[in-house]
Amino acid sequence: MGLLSIIRKIKRKEKEMRILMVGLDNSGKTTIVLKINGEDTSVISPTLGFNIKTIKYHKYSLNIWDVGGQKTIRSYWRNYFEQTDGLVWVVDSSDVRRLDDCRAELHNLLKEEVYFYSCTVGRLTRLPSFQVLNLEVMDGSRHWKIVGCSAYTGEGLLDGFDWLVQDIASRIYVLD
């Protein structure tokens, strides 16, 4: 039995999932994590490096890795991929001048040999925003869904996390 098998067995027992939260700087990643956990979102500083937050979500324990999105640290995102079960790519659709950068970074991320299969794209509210990301080129081995939501109000966040958790659970906890 390999190390990966042992880790998966432990995860099955503990009902644990590792979620990677990435996107450009100031897109709302930290706000989403705090909002989903019912914490105060009135004062948030840019994430330098990463933050880890463990959240009980239904019958699962989500270890959410909130990784900074500044241009200088994006090349380090790949260091967080190992043992990641799902990814949340956060887009600020009101920041239209950076949507092309957002698409380029997402596609660079998806070119990596990644360990996650489920991807939720959040915070998109306008149809042109969906189209600029060019998600239809994503290979069929990944599951993905676009969920319009608001990090500020929390609207739609539970829909995105419900889908992500259910999708991951269907792959990892096949006997549930």
Q: What is the pLDDT of residue 164?
A: 92
Is 70 an active-site residue?
A: yes
**Rounded CA separation 155/98 (Å):** 23
**pLDDT value of residue 35:** 92
Q: Quick check: 129 and 93 in contact, CB under 8 A?
A: yes
Q: What is the pLDDT along the chain (176 residues), one digit of tens a residue?
A: 456 665 665 655 678 999 999 999 999 999 999 999 999 999 999 999 999 999 999 889 999 999 999 999 999 998 888 888 888 989 888 888 998 898 899 888 877 756 555 555 565 555 455 677 777 776 666 788 888 888 888 888 999 999 999 989 888 876 55
Contact 90, 156 (CB under 8 A): no
Tell me which residue range forms the domain holding 137: 3-172
Token pair for residue 88?
A: 């949340």
Query: What sections of the chain are H helices per DSSP?
Result: 3-14, 29-36, 99-111, 127-132, 157-172
Task: Specify whether the CB–CB gap between 45 and 62 falls below 8 A.
Answer: no
Predicted pLDDT at 1: 45
Active-site option among 70, 83, 131, 166: 70
Q: Is 141 helix (H, G, I), strand (E, B) or coil?
A: coil
Count of structural domains, the chain: 1
Cβ 22 vs Cβ 67: under 8 Å = yes
SS3 at position 68:
coil
Collapsed DSSP state (helix, strand, coil) of residue 92: coil
User: Token match 């925003």: residue?
Assistant: 129
* C-beta separation of 153 from 110 below 8 A: no
pTM of the predicted model as reported, rounded to 2 decimal places: 0.84
| CATH assignment at residue 73 | 3.40.50.300
Q: What is the pLDDT of residue 41?
A: 92
